[in-house]
Structure 1
Amino acid sequence: MASRTYYHVKPTSSGWEGKKVGASRASVTGSTKAEVRDKTIAIAKNNRPSSVKIHKKDGSFEEERTYNGDPYPPSG
């Protein structure tokens, strides 16, 4: 299986960014969290296996969404 690609949706001084871990530039930028989150998730779904880690306005961790090959899928 290919290694997982990680993305982070984080606040910036001018809005929000969705950025691939290790990249020098953001993949997505925007003024609202919802807009950037949705676009980053679309990118992640096209680059499976992947994970999107979503942060709160204060920068703390909020949630993680994985696509294809979840290492800990819930049962049932």
Structure 2
Amino acid sequence: MDNYHIVLTGKGWQLTKEGDAKVLKAAETKAELIEVAAVFLKDKTASLKIHTSDGKIQEERTYPRCADPAASKG
């Protein structure tokens, strides 16, 4: 499983893959980038860590996302 991070930089909010400095996606707002990241990660098996503006992890999401949480086997 690959790990991705949404972080605030001097150039706005950026999506990066853990261990790689390359910026995969960028946006002016965190909310916008979360939507973009969801589309980008839709067909991947991944963990997305969404950070606060001071760098702390606010939330973690796993992909693919289950449309119906009741259908989850875990």
Give the TM-score of the pair, scaled to structure 1. Answer: 0.76
Q: Which residue of 2 aligns with 1:55?
A: 51
* 2:18 corresponding residue in structure 1: 21
- After superposition, what is the alpha-carbon deviation per residue over 1:13-50, rounded to whole angstroms, capped at 9, x for unaligned? 12100111122311111111111111112212222x11
Q: With the length of structure 2 as denominator, give the TM-score of the two structures.
A: 0.78
**One of 38, 41, 48 as aligned partner of 1:41:** 38
- Unpaired segments ≥5 residues, structure 1: none
**Runs of 4 or more consecutive aligned structure 1 residues displaced over 6 Å after TM superposition:** none
Tell me, what secondary structure is at the counterpart of 1:46? Answer: coil
CA–CA distance in 2 between the matches of 1:57 and 1:16? 9
Aligned residue-pair number: 68
Taking only aligned residues, the RMSD between alpha carbons, in angstroms, comes to 2.1
Structure 2 unaligned regions, length at least 5: 65-71
